[in-house]
Structure 1
Amino acid sequence: MNRRNFIRQAGTAGILAGSAATLATPAIAQENPKITWRMTSSFTKGLDILFGAAEIVAEHVREASNGNFVIQHFAGGEIVPALQAADAVSSGTVEMAHTCAYYYVGKDPTFALGTAVPFGLNARQTNAWFNQAGGNELLNEFLSGYNIHSILLGNTGAQMGGWFRKEINTIEDLKGLKMRIAGLTGQVMSKVGVTPQQIAGGDVYAALEKGTIDATEFVGPYDDQKLGFHKVAKYYYYPAWWEGGPAVHAFVNLEKWNSLPDNYKRILQDACAAGSASMLERYDARNPLALKELVAAGAILRPFSQEILDASYKAAQETYAEISASNPAFKKIYDSQQAFKKDAYLWAQIAEYSYDTFMMIQQRNGTL
């Protein structure tokens, strides 16, 4: 090959290589576009486990996308009020929210089934139903009517039954009681005489201190200690039969979700899975010490009586039957959870409950 032909061929190869690079760049850019979203929260920054789960999501998304997909995280009230997060997502005011579906039962009681209902699933069952038994698909079928796509983003585990200014022993003690309580539980509580109040977490302490409410539930020892409820109501009841394993979700504007590149959808889903696992782990790690400290500070632990549990269970079943009779969306999701729960508790009795019961006896006997 002479020098002139070599130069000509080398130049042609360089042009072709340059063309390939020019063609490849837009394809890569389309797969990894620069996107910035805003995520509002229904929680304050002081509730570091609840608020922090969504921070984990934002960090994972940014790192996994090499900084191309950025989610800015805002506390409740910074963009919209805490209990208007779903509305902000639905309307497109923000692209995302970290919230609990049951805050929005005023729109439709079916929202409650996205978080927890009285005498519903425990934490492991909730996660399994959503991720392995069609729960995600059922909830998103319902939420599509509100222009929302949901992704599981947290579970607190079984919660405490809350703080009361006076001792509660019987159903009669509940009558006329003003209690801050969220979701469908308010309807059930109404049947046993309680007057339910829905108040954002940041406003609960002041309402309890002023006597605007007589009792409140929130989450469990770790968060309750931070909020100082033991200073204004000393009786601490358990368990929260209305929240055996409440789910928290990322709500995403459906149009924005559909417009995401597939790789960004996968990144966001994986990030939510990491944040979800972290929430339950952190509560399991921190609640035991917080409970000890609350008792040392004067909190008086009390179990709900069998009378209260039985009456509340009956009221819950009546409520579900009434709603199911007129709300097909609620019935469809509730029936799915019920069928799953029956088998899940059958299995739990065989292994989990037997093992846990034996180990709890050892703990009580001081032999652990």
Structure 2
Amino acid sequence: MKDWLTGTAVAVVVAGIASQAAAVEWNASLWGSRRAFTEHVEKLAEIVNEKSGGDFTINISYGGLSKNTENLDGISIGAFEMAQFCAGYHRDKNPTITVLELPFLGVKTLEEEVAVSNAVYSHPAVVDDLARWNAKLLMPTPMPQYNIVGTGEPLDKLEQFKGMRVRATGGIGEAFRTVGAVPTSVTATEAYQAMESGVVDTVSFAQHAHLSFRTIDEADWWTENLNPGTLNCPVVVNTDAYATLSDEHRQILDDSVSEAIDFYLENYGKLLDRWEEVLAEKEVQKVTISDEELAEFRRIGGEPIQLSWIEDMSAVGLPARELYELVQQTLEETRAK
């Protein structure tokens, strides 16, 4: 009887140790504060925890683990298991996905942004590009087209943009440069201070960021239809951490992505519905750019930059035209559905 009890006790202890070993705790590096931009990560953590019965948890940090411009570096050395970053913050580190930040690609909805992002993320050249940083692309952060807020007299003519200092990164910044503006690449968390101190005259953001980073509080006007493009800000995981997950936990993570994205889209849609109320409350004037001015902006700030990107990326051995055409093809297929 004593031997049987001893064996039972050992079995219980071993089972407990095995259970402990099976539990997984990840850290995710984000920045700023919780907002529409991060709701898919928050939802993913919630779903994964629930489906795993608490055995797989994702702890989300807003700036406590890394600077937003260094999240990809942190992923590469395994400082944390998950992170969000924007391609435009460091174009040289992730050149393939900057195709999604080219101006005037023609993306009109968040659903289309999800479709083109997922298509590009799945391309072998993109997978290899991010693998250099030990990163696996997990899901996009779909954002609407950027528009600018500014102070003083509203700007509704391209000629008025000459000399304008605008917070804009990636392809959006290059588009503004073609009309004589001076793009600066201050990060999202620095944008309000830059605007308040006069370092920049205008700030280019999606709606959620104008709210979260308070640039709307400084604004006298907002362009409602400039729509030059958007940033692409994927969520990635460390490939080693992903590979060491159990089959069950890996399946839970993968299967939870689409649900997290659906939640994000629904939540962001509510924010867009409230945007008109925000403008009215803060007495921000809506500026509508004429069709003629928009056509001219696309002519000089769209195709030439796209072609230049294709040439530059092709010169370093990347399938740039293939990636660009993949975006256009995906848009056509998505709209056909």
TM-score under structure 1 length normalisation? 0.76
Shift of 1:176: 2.0
8 A Cα contact 1:185 1:242, kept in partner: yes
In 1: Cα distance, 2:80 partner to 2:219 partner: 37
Q: 1:297 to 1:33 in 2, by over 3 A?
A: same
* 1:217 equivalenced with 2:204 (yes/no): yes
2:259 corresponds to: 274
Same amino acid, percent of matched pairs: 20
Larger radius of gyration: 1
Unaligned runs of 5+ in 2: none
Q: 1:192 to 1:110 in 2, by over 3 A?
A: farther
* 1:250 equivalenced with 2:235 (yes/no): yes
Letter of the structure 2 residue corresponding to residue 50 of structure 1: F
Unaligned runs of 5+ in 1: 1-13, 349-368
Shift of 1:230: 3.4
Q: 1:134 to 1:318 in 2, by over 3 A?
A: closer
* 1:288 equivalenced with 2:273 (yes/no): yes
2:325 corresponds to: 335
In 2: Cα distance, 1:79 partner to 1:70 partner: 17
In 2: Cα distance, 1:268 partner to 1:154 partner: 17
Q: 1:25 to 1:243 in 2, by over 3 A?
A: farther
CA RMSD of aligned residues (A): 3.3
Once the two structures are superposed, residues 69-88 of structure 1 have per-residue CA deviations (whole angstroms, 9 ceiling, x without a partner) of 22111002x12112211111
Q: 1:189 to 1:160 in 2, by over 3 A?
A: closer
Q: 1:172 to 1:64 in 2, by over 3 A?
A: same
Once the two structures are superposed, residues 199-242 of structure 1 have per-residue CA deviations (whole angstroms, 9 ceiling, x without a partner) of 2222211110111011111211x442344323323120133534
Q: 1:281 to 1:314 in 2, by over 3 A?
A: same
Letter of the structure 2 residue corresponding to residue 80 of structure 1: S
1:68 corresponds to: 55
Q: 1:66 to 1:239 in 2, by over 3 A?
A: same
8 A Cα contact 1:53 1:153, kept in partner: no
Shift of 1:315: 3.5
In 2: Cα distance, 1:297 partner to 1:117 partner: 31
Once the two structures are superposed, residues 181-213 of structure 1 have per-residue CA deviations (whole angstroms, 9 ceiling, x without a partner) of 122322333233222212222221111011101
Once the two structures are superposed, residues 295-329 of structure 1 have per-residue CA deviations (whole angstroms, 9 ceiling, x without a partner) of 34221111333233433224433433432441433
- Counterpart selection for 1:44 from 16, 19, 32: 32
TM-score under structure 2 length normalisation? 0.83
Q: Number of matched residues?
A: 326
1:90 corresponds to: 76
8 A Cα contact 1:295 1:301, kept in partner: no
In 1: Cα distance, 2:169 partner to 2:162 partner: 18
In 2: Cα distance, 1:274 partner to 1:235 partner: 36
In 2: Cα distance, 1:48 partner to 1:343 partner: 31
8 A Cα contact 2:115 2:331, kept in partner: no
Once the two structures are superposed, residues 15-44 of structure 1 have per-residue CA deviations (whole angstroms, 9 ceiling, x without a partner) of 9xx8xx89x9599759x8122221101x32
* 1:169 equivalenced with 2:167 (yes/no): no
Letter of the structure 1 residue corresponding to residue 325 of structure 2: D
* 1:298 equivalenced with 2:283 (yes/no): yes
**SS of equivalent to 1:151:** strand
Once the two structures are superposed, the pairs formed by residues 180-191 of structure 1 within 5 Å of their partners are: 180-191=167-178
* 1:232 equivalenced with 2:218 (yes/no): yes
Letter of the structure 1 residue corresponding to residue 299 of structure 2: D
Q: 1:28 to 1:101 in 2, by over 3 A?
A: farther
Letter of the structure 1 residue corresponding to residue 239 of structure 2: L
Shift of 1:126: 3.0
- Counterpart selection for 1:127 from 95, 103, 114: 114
2:183 corresponds to: 196
Q: 1:48 to 1:169 in 2, by over 3 A?
A: closer
Once the two structures are superposed, residues 224-283 of structure 1 have per-residue CA deviations (whole angstroms, 9 ceiling, x without a partner) of 234432332312013353436x55422111122122222212211233322222222111
Q: 1:316 to 1:75 in 2, by over 3 A?
A: same
Q: 1:326 to 1:188 in 2, by over 3 A?
A: farther
Once the two structures are superposed, residues 83-142 of structure 1 have per-residue CA deviations (whole angstroms, 9 ceiling, x without a partner) of 2111111121111102333332143432323x53312234322323444x5642443232
